[in-house]
């Protein structure tokens, strides 16, 4: 059967999923990525919404940024300019040219906020929220300290920062990164869920004397997970904190019991 036929069967004809065990394993992996993408779509849309909020809040912060330049690796301002902390719904922005705050203070500001940014005396600090290890896994850390001696920041000034924030828009590649960040935990979670569900499905197959291997069971379970994944994605829209693991496991196992009815069975020896 083709991938499209298996997809259709996973929604309307569960028993026909018996043919999924013959699917090449690489196709099953690609299908798992497809299911992960479905799970990550609601999360990605929420990330896009947060990014738009950050864009609007950045424009509000731009109006508060005073004139400054970078001289000899330090933030240089007029003597009368004092530091300040400006808070919006998604950003806490710290401007501290006098060195009163430390990088750890920027991360400690993150309670209830999405992003904390600090223009400190000697460095730019960007602190992201705790995302269950996703940011750490992708980038190695969730706080970034960039000294002003870095070539990227040597030409930083109040004027060009205000201009950038006022005219800022979300580039397409940022949206792609946001989607990939959403896809990563969805894929890992789905793989773990399918692995443990396959253990249960394989045990069921052995008890029923079906002649099917573990990997054939796994490939079948991947396609059996289509309907519960779609249901989970719809639930995510209304309840972002919903844990889909149990829903996917139990519905996939039920669908597997229907698909397994088409598996060949071992012949029992005759009773003497």
- Say if CB 228 and CB 173 are below 8 A apart: no
Question: What pLDDT, in 10s, does the model give residues 208-244?
Answer: 888 888 998 999 999 999 999 999 999 888 887 778 8
- Say if CB 105 and CB 129 are below 8 A apart: no
Residues 142 and 194 placed together within one structural domain of the fold: no
Would residue 57 count as lying in a domain? no
Residues 201 and 244 placed together within one structural domain of the fold: yes
Question: What pLDDT, in 10s, does the model give residues 92-102?
Answer: 888 888 888 88
- Which of 101, 129, 156 terminates a domain? The answer is 156
- In whole angstroms, give the CA distance from residue 234 to residue 231: 5
Residues 26 and 91 placed together within one structural domain of the fold: no
Domain count, the chain: 2
Cβ–Cβ contacts within 10 Å for residue 90, how many? Answer: 17
Residues 40 and 72 placed together within one structural domain of the fold: no
Residues 180 and 240 placed together within one structural domain of the fold: yes
Question: What pLDDT, in 10s, does the model give residues 21-32?
Answer: 888 989 999 999
- In whole angstroms, give the CA distance from residue 236 to residue 232: 6
- Which of 122, 156, 190 terminates a domain? The answer is 156
Lowest mean pLDDT among 130-134, 141-145, 230-234, 239-243: 130-134
- In whole angstroms, give the CA distance from residue 212 to residue 157: 66
Q: Give kind and range of the element (H or E) at residue 36.
A: helix 25-62
The residue-averaged pLDDT of 233-259 equals 87
Residue 199, pLDDT score:
94
Of the chain, the percentage scoring pLDDT greater than 90 comes to 22
Residue 103, pLDDT score:
81
- In whole angstroms, give the CA distance from residue 262 to residue 198: 17
Residue 154, pLDDT score:
75
Would residue 56 count as lying in a domain? no
Residue 270, pLDDT score:
62
Residue 133, pLDDT score:
46
Q: Round the average pLDDT of the chain to a whole number and report it.
A: 82
Would residue 109 count as lying in a domain? yes
- In whole angstroms, give the CA distance from residue 18 to residue 117: 54
Residues 147 and 204 placed together within one structural domain of the fold: no
**Cβ neighbourhood burial of 39 (10 Å; 0-12, 13-18, 19+):** buried
Would residue 27 count as lying in a domain? yes
Question: What pLDDT, in 10s, does the model give residues 161-208?
Answer: 888 777 656 667 777 777 887 788 889 989 999 999 999 999 998 888
* Whether the predicted pLDDT of 69 surpasses 80: yes
Q: 87 lies in which domain range? A: 68-156
- In whole angstroms, give the CA distance from residue 79 to residue 64: 17
Residue 210, pLDDT score:
86
pTM of the model: 0.65
Residues 190 and 146 placed together within one structural domain of the fold: no
* Whether the predicted pLDDT of 136 surpasses 70: no
Structure tokens at 182: 């959403």
- Which of 156, 183, 203 terminates a domain? The answer is 156
Between 80 and 86, the more confident residue is: 86
Residue 183, pLDDT score:
86
| Confidence band for 268, pLDDT divided at 50, 70 and 90 | low
The residue-averaged pLDDT of 13-37 equals 90
Residues 257 and 180 placed together within one structural domain of the fold: yes
- In whole angstroms, give the CA distance from residue 92 to residue 226: 41
Q: For 198-230, b where at least 16 C-beta lie within 10 A, e where not — what string?
A: bebbbeebeeeebebeeebbbbbbbbbbbbbbe
Residues 145 and 79 placed together within one structural domain of the fold: yes
Residues 106 and 150 placed together within one structural domain of the fold: yes
Residues 78 and 109 placed together within one structural domain of the fold: yes
Would residue 91 count as lying in a domain? yes
- Say if CB 126 and CB 150 are below 8 A apart: no
Which residue in this structure is represented by tokens 């779509």?
41
| Confidence band for 140, pLDDT divided at 50, 70 and 90 | very low
Would residue 269 count as lying in a domain? no
| Confidence band for 132, pLDDT divided at 50, 70 and 90 | very low
- In whole angstroms, give the CA distance from residue 194 to residue 168: 42
The DSSP secondary structure of 97-147, one letter per residue, reads TTS-S-HHHHHHTTTT-SEEEEE-SSEEEEEPPP-TTHHHHHHS-SEEEEE
């Amino acid at each position: 059967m083709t991938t499209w036929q298996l997809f259709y069967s996973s929604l309307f004809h569960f028993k026909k999923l018996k043919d999924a065990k013959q699917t090449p394993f690489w196709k099953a992996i690609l299908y798992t990525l497809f299911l992960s993408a479905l799970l990550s779509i609601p999360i990605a849309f929420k990330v896009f919404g947060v990014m738009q909020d950050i864009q609007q809040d950045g424009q509000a912060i731009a109006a508060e940024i005073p004139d400054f330049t970078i001289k000899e690796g330090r933030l240089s301002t007029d003597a009368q300019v004092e530091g300040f902390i400006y808070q919006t719904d998604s950003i806490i922005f710290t401007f501290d040219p006098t060195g009163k705050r430390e990088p750890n203070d920027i991360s400690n500001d993150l309670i209830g906020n999405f992003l904390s940014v600090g223009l400190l005396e000697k460095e730019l600090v960007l602190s992201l929220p705790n995302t269950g290890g996703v940011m750490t896994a992708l980038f190695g850390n969730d706080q970034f300290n960039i000294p002003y001696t870095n070539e990227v920041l040597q030409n930083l000034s109040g004027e060009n920062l205000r201009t950038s924030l006022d005219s800022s828009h979300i580039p397409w590649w940022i949206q792609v990164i946001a989607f990939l960040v959403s896809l990563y935990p969805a894929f890992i979670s789905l793989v773990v869920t399918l692995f443990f569900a396959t253990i249960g499905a394989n045990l069921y197959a052995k008890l029923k004397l079906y002649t099917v291997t573990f990997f054939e069971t796994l490939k079948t379970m991947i396609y059996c997970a289509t309907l519960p994944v779609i249901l989970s994605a719809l639930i995510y829209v209304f309840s972002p904190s919903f844990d889909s693991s149990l829903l996917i496991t139990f519905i996939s196992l039920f669908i597997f019991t229907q698909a397994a009815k088409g598996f060949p069975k071992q012949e029992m020896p005759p009773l003497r």
